């Protein structure tokens, strides 16, 4: 147990940096810009994020899953594919800039949108070595890369924000972050940067990655489609409020997903070298834990959203009770439809099924449009997003059911219990001072988290002993049978 924790501390810090920096960036922008300029910045960020997600081949995941004897060739092929993707997507982003700007009633600012194409191309030059090291639970190089790139991005944001008080600060931040990330990844990689276009593995990398473009479409529509809708139909000031509210709730989800996804993918990958029983135990363990964590997070949104967000960003970002309730339910279902399903599909190379599941969440865009035309409120957009998350969860269960069947009953039990806890907290937020007063909100959150933890603990410890046989033995225990455990430990590290 302690060795797992020691190897994972860098991952926790990496995840905190990756997800904390956008929060700090939004905090700086919300305090330094008008609502219109904040909405403009959110539109730029959504455009950049959409181009990155829609064309994300996840090439480092291809190297992650490649056999060790073809590692160098797989890495060179992945670098070549990444460079080709960056050149093509960067060109498309620049060419599409006038259309995107016009759709948001910002036609005169199309050159600002065109700069995003340059950012996409620069990032394609990144060395993938620090990322691929995750396979062996090594996160140190990636931690340094993230620290350098995000630090430079924030420094550029602060300096430009003081000088311009405009959305230009965001563009400067993105350029500085991309450039420093590329430079740091090359300096800290443990192997030379090579490109290999003429390789069978280049074709394999493309076959691995191209279905993830459709997966990226689903993620982009889920993550950024609503921002375009809000900006175009409700205006840039409303988009500014919406961007702060969703960022405050979804960034922690990204942190949780990053930790869970990286840990589970490595755990599932290494379990294939151990035994079928170990693999199934790890899936069942995740099936118990993920809904419990999701419920605790949803309750935290219900109890703390209207206390912390106005305190940090300002009183103009306060939401209605209905909006907070819808956001909390959306967060719950967004988390439970992620892992262990995503890691199972990625580990098995079933990227087409993963793409189908995430594409289902794009139905949120249609629901949002219908509801916003019917009601014209921020709550209608949030409700459409919730329906899309439910659709994505349904499809995810369909495409993974055969492999997930041994853990399905435990997942359903944990899901039902967690959802019941969230509904009770939601009722309290409408009928009491929970969500308004810090004391009662903290008590409600603590009690709900305690119930979720106790329910999960009933089966987590026995499952952990089976899932991680080399880690479950307490220190000082007899060495009888240690040969198998040492073998398991070696396979986990290899």
Is the predicted pLDDT of residue 279 greater than 90, yes or no?
Answer: no
Q: Is the pLDDT of residue 473 over 70?
A: no
**Position 483 pLDDT exceeds 50:** no
Asked if 183 and 260 sit in the same domain, the reply is no
Q: Of 174, 209, 244, which closes a domain?
A: 209
437 touches 303 (CB < 8 A): no
Measured CA to CA, the distance from residue 138 to residue 264 in angstroms comes to: 15
12-16, 335-339, 474-478 — which one is most confidently predicted on average? 335-339
Domains in the chain, number: 2
Residues of the chain with pLDDT > 70, as a percent, come to: 90
**Stretch (H or E) spanning 198:** none
Answer yes or no: is pLDDT of 8 > 60: no
In a domain, 218, yes or no: no
Residues 49 and 145 in one domain: yes
CB 341 within 8 A of CB 261: no
158 & 10 share domain: yes
pLDDT band at 119 (very low <50, low <70, confident <90, very high): very high
10 and 154 fall within a common domain: yes
For residues 338 and 389, membership in a common domain is answered with: yes
6 domain-assigned: yes
The C-alpha atoms of residue 475 and residue 473 are separated, in whole angstroms, by 7
Residue owning tokens 């860098």: 10
Residue 139 has pLDDT above 50, yes or no: yes
| pLDDT digits 0-9 by tens, 148-176 | 999 999 999 999 999 999 999 999 999 99
- In this prediction, residue 206 carries a pLDDT of 87
Task: Indicate if the pLDDT at residue 127 is higher than 60.
Answer: yes
Residue 221, domain member (yes or no) = no
State the residue range of the domain holding 156.
1-209
Q: Is the pTM of this model over 0.85?
A: no
The residue-averaged pLDDT of 90-106 equals 93
Average pLDDT of the chain, as a whole number: 85
> pLDDT category, 459, cuts 50, 70, 90?
confident
Structure tokens at 493: 């590290």
Q: What is the pLDDT of residues 228-274, one digit of tens each?
A: 889 888 888 889 989 899 888 988 888 888 788 878 887 887 777 77
């Amino acid at each position: 147990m302690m060795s797992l924790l020691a190897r994972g501390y860098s991952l926790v810090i990496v995840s905190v940096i990756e997800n904390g920096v956008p929060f700090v960036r939004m905090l700086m922008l919300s305090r330094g810009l008008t609502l219109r300029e904040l909405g403009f910045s959110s539109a730029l960020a959504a455009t950049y994020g959409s181009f990155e997600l829609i064309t994300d081949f996840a090439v480092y995941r291809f190297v992650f899953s490649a056999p060790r004897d073809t590692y160098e060739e797989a890495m060179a092929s992945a670098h070549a594919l990444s460079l080709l993707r960056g050149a093509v997507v960067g060109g498309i982003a620049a060419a599409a800039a006038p259309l995107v700007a016009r759709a948001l009633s910002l036609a005169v600012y199309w050159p600002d949108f065109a700069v995003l194409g340059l950012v996409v191309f620069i990032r394609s030059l990144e060395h993938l070595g620090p990322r691929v090291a995750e396979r062996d639970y090594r996160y140190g190089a990636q931690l340094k890369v993230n620290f350098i790139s995000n630090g430079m991005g924030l420094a550029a944001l602060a300096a430009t924000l003081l000088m311009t008080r405009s959305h230009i600060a965001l563009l400067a931040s993105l350029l500085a972050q991309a450039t420093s990330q590329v430079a740091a990844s090359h300096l800290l990689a443990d192997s030379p940067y090579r490109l290999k276009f003429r390789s069978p593995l280049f074709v394999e990398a493309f076959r691995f990655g191209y279905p993830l473009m459709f997966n990226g479409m689903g993620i982009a529509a889920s993550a950024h489609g609503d921002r375009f809708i809000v900006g175009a139909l409700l205006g840039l000031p409303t988009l500014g409020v919406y961007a702060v509210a969703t960022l405050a709730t979804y960034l922690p989800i990204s942190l949780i997903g990053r930790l869970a996804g990286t840990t589970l993918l490595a755990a599932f990958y290494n379990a294939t070298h151990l035994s079928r029983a170990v693999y199934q135990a790890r899936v069942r363990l995740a099936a118990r834990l993920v809904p419990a964590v999701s419920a605790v997070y949803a309750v935290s949104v219900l109890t703390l959203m209207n206390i912390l967000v106005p305190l940090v960003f300002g009183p103009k970002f306060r939401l209605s009770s209905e909006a907070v309730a819808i956001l909390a339910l959306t967060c719950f279902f967004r988390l439970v439809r992620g892992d262990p399903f995503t890691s199972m599909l990625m580990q098995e190379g079933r990227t087409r099924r993963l793409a189908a599941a995430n594409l289902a969440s794009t139905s949120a865009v249609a629901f949002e449009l219908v509801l916003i035309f019917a009601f014209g409120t921020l709550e209608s957009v949030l409700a459409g997003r919730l329906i899309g998350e439910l659709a994505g969860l349904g499809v995810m269960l369909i495409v993974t059911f055969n492999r997930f069947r041994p853990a399905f009953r435990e997942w359903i039990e944990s899901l039902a219990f967690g959802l019941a806890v969230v509904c009770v907290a939601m009722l309290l937020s409408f009928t009491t001072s929970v969500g308004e007063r810090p004391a009662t909100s903290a008590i409600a959150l603590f009690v709900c988290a305690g119930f979720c933890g106790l329910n999960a603990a009933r089966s987590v410890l026995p499952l952990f002993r089976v899932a991680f046989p080399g880690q479950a033995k307490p220190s000082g225990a007899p060495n009888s049978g240690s040969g198998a455990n040492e073998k398991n430990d070696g396979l986990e590290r290899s």
